[in-house]
Amino acid sequence: MLAVQLKPIIRLPRDHREAVAAYGARTTWPAGFTIYERDAAADGVFVVLRGQIVLRNQLGAGRSFVPWVATSGESFGGEGLQTGAQYASSARAEEESETLHLSTTRFSALLREQPSHALALIRQMMAERTALLEKFGEHATLTVEQRLIAALVRLASTRDPISYDGKVVHHGDDARVAAPTIPRRLLGELVGATRESISLVLGRLTADGLVQRDGNGLVITDIERLTAKLNIPDRASAALDLHDERSGSGRGRELH
């Protein structure tokens, strides 16, 4: 098993967000609301002020893939800064969320009048692009178990209350407070594996006392032990007889 180093989540700091807010339009979205559809005409860029925005691509036959979940201090829809662009994914509010939208014209004004704040936003978008490239690299190098754990840990950390300076606000030792319920469907879409593979890994993590079911979601019960599993270079412990979703034979094979 390859050891995985989870990098801290980069967020646009409070002072930059406040400056950018003067150039954008604030909107509050109810849970489940679609902000825009894939292939729609794109314009400008969005910044999440609170909540979660899920970017989703439909794969056909009822399947979908989530390349990114934008949370407080992160951006999405940046393809709108290109000329004549279209959105590459659909964007949907996973929970009640608030966003800031800068049209291309307003972004240009920010760049001209407040270059330091515009540069901070550009750096934020580049940091997210780097994280996205690393995430896709994980799909080629990590096991289903590692990908699932990495997704669980990131979702848990992004759902923590976050202060504007990007620091996590802790709430004591209660794991249920620090790690709210994570929807199983969203987890599967992030990992990009079959339902059977996800169920096998979750069963193993549940048996180890690292997660537990909560309705249609999951709660991390021991975030430290779960994160530590990503850094154990024990190839034998990572071997799972899982269904390979890329083969049509239906036969299982050992995934590493």
Domain spans in the chain, listed from the N-terminal domain onward: 1-141, 143-256
CA angle at 46 for the pair 147 and 179, rounded to the nearest 5°: 40
Q: Which residues contact 35 (CB under 8 A, 6 or more apart)?
A: 29, 46, 53, 77, 91, 92, 93, 99
- Kindly tell me if the per-residue pLDDT of 211 is higher than 80: yes
pTM of the model: 0.75
Q: 143-256 architecture in CATH?
A: Orthogonal Bundle (1.10)
- Kindly tell me if the per-residue pLDDT of 160 is higher than 70: no
Stated length of the chain: 256
What CATH code is assigned to 1-141? 2.60.120.10
- Kindly tell me if the per-residue pLDDT of 90 is higher than 60: yes
Higher pLDDT, 180 or 54: 54
Residue 256: pLDDT band with limits 50, 70, 90: very low
Higher pLDDT, 3 or 131: 131
Distance CA 208, CA 221 (A): 10
**Least confident residue range of 21-30, 89-98, 182-191:** 182-191
- Kindly tell me if the per-residue pLDDT of 167 is higher than 80: no
- Kindly tell me if the per-residue pLDDT of 143 is higher than 60: yes
